[in-house]
Amino acid sequence: MAFWSRRNWLTLAAAGGFVAVAVGAFAVHGMQGDPRAQELLKTGAMYGFMHTMATFACATLMQVGARRARFAPAFFLSGVALFSGSLYALAFGAPRWVGIVTPFGGLAFLAGWAILVWAARGVDPI
C-alpha cells in the first residue's frame, strides 16, 4: 500500500484541486456556446474540488486520532477520477455510454464518507 502514502494522496489531491479550478474556469469562459457541456464541467469541477478538500481533511482527522481516515482518500480520489472524469469526457463529446461510469464514482464518494463516519468513532470523545 506504499502508493497510498499520505504524501502521495495529498499530492494527488493538490493536483485534483488544480484540475478542478482549471476545468471550472474553462466551463465559464471556454464553453459559453454549449450550456449542457458547461453544466457537466461545472458539476464535475465542484465534486472534484469538494473531494480533493475532503482528502486534505483526512490528514487532519488522522492527526486527532482518526487513524482509519487513511482509507478514505483512495475512495475520494477514485471517485473524482470516475465521477468528474466521466462528466468531463461527456462535456468534450465522449459517447453517452461513458456516463455509465459516473454512478460508480458517486458510490466511491459515498464509501469514502462512510469510512470517515467509521474513522470519527475512533477519535477520543474528550
Cβ-contact 98, 81 below 8 angstroms: no
Does residue 2 form part of some domain?
no
Does residue 125 form part of some domain?
no
Count of the separate structural domains present in the chain: 1
Tell me which residue range forms the domain holding 116. 7-120
Q: Nine-digit cell at 66?
A: 482518526
Q: What's this model's pTM, rounded to 2 decimal places?
A: 0.90
Residues 21-42: pLDDT tens digits? 999 999 989 888 899 999 999 9
Does residue 126 form part of some domain?
no
Does residue 54 form part of some domain?
yes
pLDDT band at residue 99 under the 50/70/90 scheme: very high
Q: 101: exposed, middle or buried (C-beta count within 10 Å: 0-12, 13-18, 19+)?
A: middle
Does residue 106 form part of some domain?
yes
Does residue 36 form part of some domain?
yes
